Chains A and B, each alone.
Chain A
Amino acid sequence: MEAAMGLMRRMPPKHSETALSALLSLMPQHSSDLLSQVDQPLQVLCDVDYGKEFILCEYNRDADSYRSPWSNKYHPPLEDGPYPSPELRKLEIEANEVFAIYRDQYYEGGISSVYMWEDENEGFVACFLIKKDGSKSGHGRRGYLQEGAWDAIHVMEVGPEEEGMAHYCLTSTVMLSLTTNNESTGTFNLSGSIRRQMNMDLSVADGHLCNMGKMIEELEGKLRNSLDQVYFGKTREMVCTLRPPAELVQVRLPDS
């Protein structure tokens, strides 16, 4: 299993789907570990009642069906699929509405879905998903990207309420790939995935949605920043190590 995770850390992130299915076929005995530890690009399906797309993941799946957060129905229909309690479903509906506005303000497009379910120890788990196609042909406002995919997965475990406080544990993953392609720069692709965790004890007076939202906004911002500043920056440093920019070597160059 350690070797399998080692391979996932080295394979090009844009091939992570192929890599995972290859590992699943090589080591079926570890499929459960692989599926829970390796994140995959998100897929979408259209809710037939609402004519609106929703995101598929392990958290809204039962057998081969997926529950839509809009109609609360399984697609394709499923007889005895699990549902959140009416109270939690109310929070789920509100979270979907608010998160859609949040998503629009940061992403200027894209799709979002929120799923919630009760867990064993009197708390609940919420999963916030965002998928954005930032390419020219997708939702890219500025039209710079030949290809641009961003998938964010935020899994929030909320502990039971104790003396007005609750423990929130957030695990966020971002997977992205962006490609520009033009005459002067050729094909330029950056792809990657990172995952981070954040823990907080917060007063429930402000409401779960407010607490969860703030944590997600903060961690998502941090992930975006570290991709931009640290991860992309490190690959840029590597390019400059391979071939230092002209101004550094110009002194030694002949007249050219």
Chain B
Amino acid sequence: MHSNSRQKMAEEVGNQEEEAEELSEKQKKEIAKWFLLNSPAGEIQYVAKDIRSVLNDDNVYNTAASEAFPVYNKSHMISLRMPGKSEDVLITSFGEINENEYIDPRTAHVARVDHVKQVCTKVRPATDEELPSPYVEDYRCALDAEIMKYVGEAYPKGVCSVYCARGKDVEEPGSDFELVVVISAARHSPQNFCNGSWRSIWNVEFKDDVQIVEVRGRMQVDAHYFEEGNVQLDAKHEFQDSTLFQSPDDIAVSLTNIIRHHETEYLASLQASYVNLPDTTFKDLRRKLPVTRTLFPWHNTLQFSLTRDISKELGIGK
């Protein structure tokens, strides 16, 4: 019956497919994009290879890839080495000049990228219009220097960038502007069946009128282990904080301390979640041992049935 019923279901599914109109190219493309966008950190190239072979239609694949890769690269905030330089550029929506060009504020260069190949093909110096005013740049640059020190200490393979998200043309005190700190650390070791990424985005709003700087942080941590199985961690958290408007150097130190504090706390809470797994959280799914704390008495199962019969006859129990 087992294999029969599977066979039957398969035939039914097959028939439905034949009856239903063949999937349109658009539907196929949307399905391919779904797979690409759901690729775990560092695995989109593997997923691309598989979905290409499942589709068996290079036109559909190419359209899907050209639409999905830019979105994936930006949301995973991948870092690419800039040709002829020793720095990486981060692919993020904050640094996006157009779909294929991303600014690296530290080196004041714009990198041209091939999204599907995930490489940087060219760099050019950024134009004045693409860069913040000297007033904003003082704050950005001081913060970047402090964040770089912190990331160098805390993340063995971290890449960071500080962008101006709003008010880049503000020339002097009196107006608001906003910086964004982005930290991205990825680790790919397919030979050990393990990949992961840590991404943080900190929005820093400089409110001139109240002389306060507001901080909003979002963190996302993913890990995938897939040796003879498929297990994924998907963790997210958000934070808010604020500090006083100060000189560029002082505020850079305050902001970096805030970010360091929240990220350290968050790592500790992730560790705590793991430590709590065996005895609390996981126990609510399945216990390690039965409530009786001894293995199940399979030898005496007859007794259970007998006890049940007796209880039934006596009208006790359910």
Contacts and interface: CB of A to CB of B under 8 A. Distances in A.
Contact of B269 (A97, A150, A186, A193): A186
A145 B284 contact: yes
A154 interface: no
A28 B15 CA distance: 9
Given A185-B270, A238-B187, A217 B284 contact: no
Interface in B264-318: 264, 266-274, 276-278, 280-292, 295-296, 298-299, 301, 304-305, 308
Provide the main secondary structure of the chain A interface.
Answer: helix
Nearest to A6: B50
A108 B2 CA distance: 30
B231 A235 contact: yes
A24 B282 CA distance: 33
A22 B155 CA distance: 38
A242 B154 CA distance: 9
A23 B54 contact: yes
A152 B102 CA distance: 47
Interface string A46-82: 0000000000001101110000000000000000001
Contacts of A36: 6
B97 interface: no
B285 to A, nearest CB: 4
Contacts of A191: 231-232, 234
Given A10-B39, A246-B264, A142 B284 contact: yes
A178 B229 contact: no
Interface in B16-47: 17-18, 23, 27-28, 31, 34-35, 38-40, 43, 46-47
A18 B35 CA distance: 10
Which residue among A144, A195, A235, A252 has the maximum number of chain B CB atoms within 10 Å of its CB?
A235
B28 A232 contact: no
A129 B192 CA distance: 32
B296 A102 contact: yes
A192 B231 contact: yes
B9 A189 contact: no
Contacts of B273: 180, 185, 188
A45 interface: no
Which residue among A29, A63, A101 has the maximum number of chain B CB atoms within 10 Å of its CB?
A101
B55 interface: yes
Given A12-B40, A98-B305, A108 B291 contact: yes
A140 B285 CA distance: 7
A17 to B, nearest CB: 13
B156 interface: yes
B155 A243 contact: yes
Which residue among A28, A106, A228, A242 has the maximum number of chain B CB atoms within 10 Å of its CB?
A242
A85 B287 CA distance: 35
Interface stretch (B72-80, B84-92, B220-228): B220-228
A22 B281 contact: no
A36 B305 CA distance: 34
Interface string A180-224: 100011111111111100000000001001100110010011001
B288 to A, nearest CB: 7
Nearest to B236: A187
B13 A190 contact: no
Given A178-B281, A252-B153, A125 B290 contact: no
A106 B287 contact: yes
Nearest to A95: B301
A235 B232 contact: yes
28 contacts: A3-B54, A10-B40, A10-B46, A10-B230, A12-B38, A13-B230, A32-B10, A35-B13, A97-B308, A135-B284, A141-B284, A145-B285, A180-B281, A185-B270, A192-B229, A192-B231, A192-B232, A194-B228, A206-B299, A213-B296, A213-B298, A228-B277, A238-B223, A241-B156, A242-B156, A243-B267, A249-B154, A256-B257
Given A3-B53, A242-B185, 13 more contacts: A4-B50, A10-B40, A25-B23, A31-B10, A97-B308, A150-B285, A186-B266, A188-B235, A190-B233, A220-B286, A221-B288, A242-B198, A246-B267
Top 5 nearest A-B pairs (CB, nearest first) are A186-B237, A192-B231, A32-B10, A105-B290, A28-B17
